[in-house]
């Protein structure tokens, strides 16, 4: 009897050691000739993560982004500012659709979460097979370094003035545009048409007289640096006042640099900018998002569909829904992985 117990104890001990080893090393991904690897912090299971702790901490995977030439161009950026996951399933679909429709463009996912087994998304293992997809870990607190917003941003992050991951994403989005230029898409925007035909500099109209921030494109230029600086200044003031509306920040900045712009009239271009209707990017509004879970066809005229925060039951995308039609068409790998693995 006693011998048997000892044996079980022994086996349990061995299993524990193996489990710890597995949980505390490296995630390896072999893609074609390249091995991608991500370090996993063995202490991460012991130290519980606060929601925004990752904004202050550097990890093994944090990139040293030096200089404005860090990212190869042309580029489309996605920003994921969670601390407890690298990305949502819907963002994986957004990335695949952007990568497929823009094979010559670098698709960059900037993420803030530490890389751990529990923050990893199994869909990443198929995304890294897309040759133009890159993921870069960024350190939120130092992301404004080298810009006029460095001091402000550091103090905001340090004193937890911005605790909402969505707001952090908005601020970082404009810092990315300010530093590197390029196209930014919100992480739930599934592209349905190549965006190149829209030109190099564009913003989208939100309602009748405002601009939105779910999709923006700008080349690197002095004018655009001024534009994004103005948005960031306005956004910073809003943060200090606790009255945050990024749509107001971008709209006022644009009107300031392009006086007399009336978004309701036929738009005369200012500094090479085009203004497109927001419906081009979200033909289905947030309030109608349940439509994604009903049968239907996607809007063939739109450049994208924004999925908003529509919740799918379980992890699968229900067949014969609009969501499934969009996913099967624009992110077939993600769709089949999601719907065959659960």
Which residues are near ligand NAG by CB under 6 A?
210, 222-223, 226, 245, 247-248
| 139 contacts: CB under 8 Å, gap ≥ 6 | 57, 58, 62, 112
Tell me which residue of 162, 161, 188 sits closest to 327, measured CA to CA.
188
CB of 209 to ligand NAG, least distance (A): 8
Nearer to ligand NAG among residue 198 and residue 210 (C-beta): 210
CB of 232 to ligand NAG, least distance (A): 14
Nearer to ligand NAG among residue 182 and residue 212 (C-beta): 212
Nearer to ligand NAG among residue 35 and residue 245 (C-beta): 245
Nearer to ligand NAG among residue 114 and residue 181 (C-beta): 181
120 within 8 A of 39, measured Cβ to Cβ: no
**3-state DSSP assignment of residue 81:** coil
CA–CA dist 224, 217 (Å, integer):
10
Nearer to ligand NAG among residue 45 and residue 223 (C-beta): 223
CA–CA dist 99, 331 (Å, integer):
9
CA–CA dist 250, 231 (Å, integer):
5
CB of 306 to ligand NAG, least distance (A): 15
Nearer to ligand NAG among residue 226 and residue 339 (C-beta): 226
CA angle at 159 for the pair 142 and 138, rounded to the nearest 5°: 25
CB of 174 to ligand NAG, least distance (A): 16
End-to-end C-alpha distance for the chain, whole angstroms: 41
CB of 246 to ligand NAG, least distance (A): 8
CB of 314 to ligand NAG, least distance (A): 30
Q: Is the peptide bond before 74 cis (omega within 30 degrees of 0)?
A: yes
Secondary-structure percent of the chain, ordered helix, strand, coil, rounded to 5: 40, 15, 45
């Amino acid at each position: 009897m006693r011998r048997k117990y000892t044996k079980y104890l022994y086996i349990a001990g061995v299993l524990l050691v193996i489990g710890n080893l597995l949980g505390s090393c490296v995630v390896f991904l072999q893609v074609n000739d390249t091995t991608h690897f991500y370090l996993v912090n063995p202490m991460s299971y012991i130290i519980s993560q606060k929601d925004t702790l990752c904004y202050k901490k550097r990890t093994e995977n944090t990139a040293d982004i030096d200089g404005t030439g860090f990212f190869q161009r042309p580029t489309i950026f996605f920003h994921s500012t969670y601390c407890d996951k690298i990305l949502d399933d819907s963002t994986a679909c957004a990335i695949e659709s952007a990568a497929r429709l823009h094979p010559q463009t670098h698709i960059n996912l900037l993420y803030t979460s530490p890389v751990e087994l529990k923050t990893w998304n199994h869909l990443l293992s198929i995304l890294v097979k897309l040759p133009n997809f890159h993921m870069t870990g960024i350190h939120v607190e130092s992301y404004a370094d080298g810009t006029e917003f460095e001091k402000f941003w550091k103090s905001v992050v340090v004193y937890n003035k911005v605790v909402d991951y969505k707001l952090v994403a908005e601020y970082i989005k404009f810092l990315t545009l300010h530093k590197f230029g390029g196209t930014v898409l919100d992480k739930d925007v599934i592209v349905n048409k190549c965006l190149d035909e829209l030109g190099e500099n564009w913003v989208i109209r939100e309602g009748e007289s405002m601009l939105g921030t779910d999709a923006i494109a700008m080349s690197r230029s002095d004018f655009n640096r001024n534009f994004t600086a103005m948005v960031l200044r306005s956004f910073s003031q809003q943060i200090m006042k606790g009255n945050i509306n990024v749509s107001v920040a971008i709209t006022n900045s644009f009107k300031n640099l392009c006086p007399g712009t009336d978004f309701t009239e036929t738009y005369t271009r200012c500094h090479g900018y085009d203004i497109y209707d927001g419906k081009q990017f979200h033909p289905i509004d947030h309030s109608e998002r349940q439509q994604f879970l009903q049968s239907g066809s996607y809007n063939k005229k739109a450049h994208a569909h924004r999925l908003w925060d529509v919740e799918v039951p379980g992890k699968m995308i229900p067949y014969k829904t609009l969501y499934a039609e969009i996913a099967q068409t624009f992110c077939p790998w993600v769709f089949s992985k999601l719907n065959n693995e659960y």
